A and B are shown apart, each in its own frame.
Chain A
Amino acid sequence: MAISKFNYNSFNVTPVAGNALSFNSDADGFTTQGASSMVLIKTLTASSSGTLSFVDGASSVVLDDTYPVYLFKIINLHPGTDNVEFQVNFRDGSTDYDATKTSTFFRALHDEADSTTALAYRTGGDLAQGTGFQRLNEGIGNNGDQSVSGELTLFNPSSTTFVKHFMGKFSGCNAGDREDTTYVAGYCNVTAAIDAVQFKMNSGNIDAGQIKLYGIKDS
């Protein structure tokens, strides 16, 4: 009788959940192969949203020891209110987003009229053992074409030994018709695991845009 179907355990390779069947490096046998090391976990799309939250275990979000590094991509977030800050905070065991943070924040700017440029540390954007929301970008305009984009990396949020480092970079279209480039970095000074991350504007809603959460494997 002709074989019409192969059963998975008919192949001479040890099955690995979620991996594909691949030829080995000598092309003389089978092995298993994983996909990209950068795994999309969740996409949140803003629609006049007060906050956008990624909570481990909710709505298919993974934010635990599955990945050592998590990467948030911020795509064209448009504020409902003019001239606002884009912010983040972290949850460290309770229901509140209030992890203690120490951070740095600096900014470069240049306006469309070519009248102002700057590169400076911004003491108003950093935190010293603060529990408030961390500034990621500032002065974002809410004209129809204005928004902020960038990325935020969170390292090893599930550690119960170390603080949790984060680093971000953002390009924002300022209400004053200028580019505001911001760089933020710091650590959540807690040894409890970070199990949720929340983004918001400091005033008003996130009118539109997306935030994507990725897990980075084996990094």
Chain B
Amino acid sequence: MALSKVDFNNINVTPAASKALKFNSAADGFETGDLGGNMVLLSTATASSSATIDITSGIDSTYKEYQIHFTSIHPATDSTKFTCQFDTGTNTSYNQAITSTFFRAAQDESATTDFGYKTAEDQAQGTAFQTLTGTIGNGNDESCAGILHLFDPASTTSVKHFMGRAQGYTHNNYAIDEFVAGYINTTTAITRIRFKFASGNIDAGTIKMYGIL
């Protein structure tokens, strides 16, 4: 009998909803999986009363830009800032020298507004954790979210630029739109990032890292 159409269950692979049919890594059979693209999800970390969230793998020369998307980051402690720092190799000090800028727009639920540079949140060759947001509240519906870009972390020639923008719901009911940018002033490759609140745990939230091909 002539073959007219191949039915999905004639392929020797277990169907998976919305997944693509791909050749396996040995190219000798099929498997299901996600299609590649130029924005590749590398890791997902979900906070659960976590003191820190560390990304310690996947940051290398494969990608020229990494994007870290943090979503619904909820602090256990009221009125605390979400922060990050970087490190090299397998080090765990998270104390790289950073020079950065920080400004924000803000408005509270009573229509009080604020816009300006925040000298308390920038760094001048500082090795402290870099502020990403203002003081986030720990009310059940209070949290922050944002995107941090890290450029060419594997460079051994240049400083490492980063740019971030975050939106937060503060302890005193402000909507804050925070802009941070700067450079990690080292020519050693950056291989890891740590996120934490200035005080207390990350009660909940998700941090995803993407590589941009």
Contacts and interface: CB of A to CB of B under 8 A. Distances in A.
Interface of A: 3, 6, 10-12, 20-30, 33-40, 73, 75-76, 78, 108-114, 117-119, 144-151, 169-173, 177-179, 181, 183, 208, 210, 212, 214
Interface in B149-197: 149, 151-152, 155, 157-159, 161-163, 179, 181-183, 185, 187
B20 A22 contact: yes
A19 to B, nearest CB: 9
B6 A11 contact: yes
Interface residues of B, number: 53
Given A73-B64, A117-B119, A149 B18 contact: no
A147 B158 CA distance: 7
A76 B155 contact: yes
Contact of A36 (B18, B35, B124): B35
Given A35-B36, A110-B100, A111-B124, 9 more contacts: A20-B22, A23-B8, A76-B158, A108-B101, A112-B125, A119-B101, A149-B163, A171-B182, A212-B64
A73 B159 contact: no
A181 B151 contact: no
B5 A145 contact: no
A112 B159 contact: no
Contact of A108 (B18, B125, B152, B181): B181
12 contacts: A20-B22, A23-B32, A33-B18, A33-B35, A38-B37, A73-B65, A145-B157, A171-B162, A171-B181, A173-B183, A179-B99, A210-B64
B29 interface: no
Nearest to B4: A10
Contacts of A170: 163
Interface of B: 3-8, 15-22, 32, 35-40, 64-65, 99-103, 116-117, 119, 122-125, 149, 151-152, 155, 157-159, 161-163, 179, 181-183, 185, 187, 212-213
A115 to B, nearest CB: 8
Given A25-B18, A145-B158, A36 B99 contact: no
A112 B185 contact: yes
Contacts of A117: 101, 117, 119, 122
A30 B161 contact: no
Which of the listed residues A12, A145, A169 has the most CB atoms from chain B within 10 Å of its own CB? Answer: A145
Contact of B161 (A147, A210, A212): A147
A73 B18 CA distance: 30
B163 A171 contact: yes
Contact of B122 (A35, A75, A110, A214): A110
Contact of B17 (A24, A148, A181): A24
Contacts of A108: 101-103, 117, 179, 181
A109 B103 CA distance: 10
Interface SS, A side: strand
A37 B123 CA distance: 36
Contact of A119 (B65, B117, B149, B155): B117
B8 A28 contact: yes
A183 B18 CA distance: 39
Contacts of A73: 64-65, 212
B99, B117, B158: most-surrounded residue (chain A CB, <10 A)? B158
